[in-house]
Structure 1
Amino acid sequence: MNAIRSPMAEAIARGLARKGTYIASAGVRHGERDPFVDAVLSEVGLDLGNREPQSLDELEDDFFDLIVTLAPEAHHRALDMNRGNAVDIVYWPTPDPSVAAGTREQILASYRDVRDMLALRLRKLFAIEPPTD
């Protein structure tokens, strides 16, 4: 629904990619903005700005060099939509942190895990060494 994983990935990728790289995210269905995403992105100096979730049908562009999907349904939809197009489509299985239960801190920990997993994968994609602590 373009509310959690892909907006996180979009924000992280925008921070890592070369200037001029077009990055967009969209969901199979339209969703609502998730405040936990804003919270965990702000912890690492990122934000979504005015961005709201969008569906695949709302994308401004339909030509991509690479499509990364984070959920099975999105992967199948990307494959169907791009039959015959010269585009690489990869699937990064990514847990849905919205199913986490417990205290606010436990839920935030699930969102942080997804944020950090996406950051690591994107650093590898863009061939950027992770920061050392």
Structure 2
Amino acid sequence: MGTGSSPRAPGAVLFACNFNRVRSPMAEALAKRLLGDRVYVDSCGLKAEAEAEGADPFVRAVMAELGFDLEQHQPKTFDELNDDSFDLIISLTPEAQHRAVELTRHRAAEIEYWPTHDPTLADGSRENRLAAYREVRDALARRLVERFGPA
């Protein structure tokens, strides 16, 4: 094996989910911390929620537990990306997977599907809901290390 960065690390990664308020912002933040400036990382969703602003409040809470500040995160759609020349698109929902396939139909990009539970479906107490979000956060963190190696 040669020296330098892992051959598994692309130059630009996009994480995609449905609304860019829960799963993809978590993955984006975790990947940025893991990969640093070696890889350009962004996230988006399929559509915007008209009344929603920023990352989901439970996402902000569970990410803050690890020192992440997602207060400034502004959800965006595929159509609002500043650049769409990604080497790797990781879709976290079936719907985002379908859009990723469409997006890459005429360009070379790798697509990976990481089925990720939707923690917004959790009900019960605030603590039960936070636990569901933590579970998704921690699963994404593990998957990122498996895919890209430790920091």
Q: What percent identity do the matched residue pairs reach? A: 50
**Whole-angstrom distance in 1 between the partners of 2:71 and 2:58:** 14
Q: Which has the higher strand share?
A: 2
SS of the aligned residue for 1:26 comes to strand
In the alignment, structure 1 residue 56 sits paired with structure 2 residue 78: yes
Equivalences for residues 98-109 of structure 1 within 5 A:
98-109=120-131
Equivalences for residues 27-38 of structure 1 within 5 A:
27-31=45-49, 32=52, 33-38=55-60
Deviation per CA, 1:19-60, whole angstroms, max 9, x where unpaired? 242100000001333100000001111122412111110000
Deviation at 1:103, TM superposition (A): 0.2
Gaps in structure 2 of 5+ consecutive residues: 1-18
Query: Runs of at least 4 residues of structure 1 off by over 4 A?
Result: none
**Whole-angstrom distance in 2 between the partners of 1:18 and 1:12:** 10
Deviation per CA, 1:71-111, whole angstroms, max 9, x where unpaired? 00000011011103110000000000001000000000000
How does the TM-score come out when normalised to structure 2?
0.82
Deviation at 1:18, TM superposition (A): 3.6
How does the TM-score come out when normalised to structure 1?
0.93
Gaps in structure 1 of 5+ consecutive residues: none
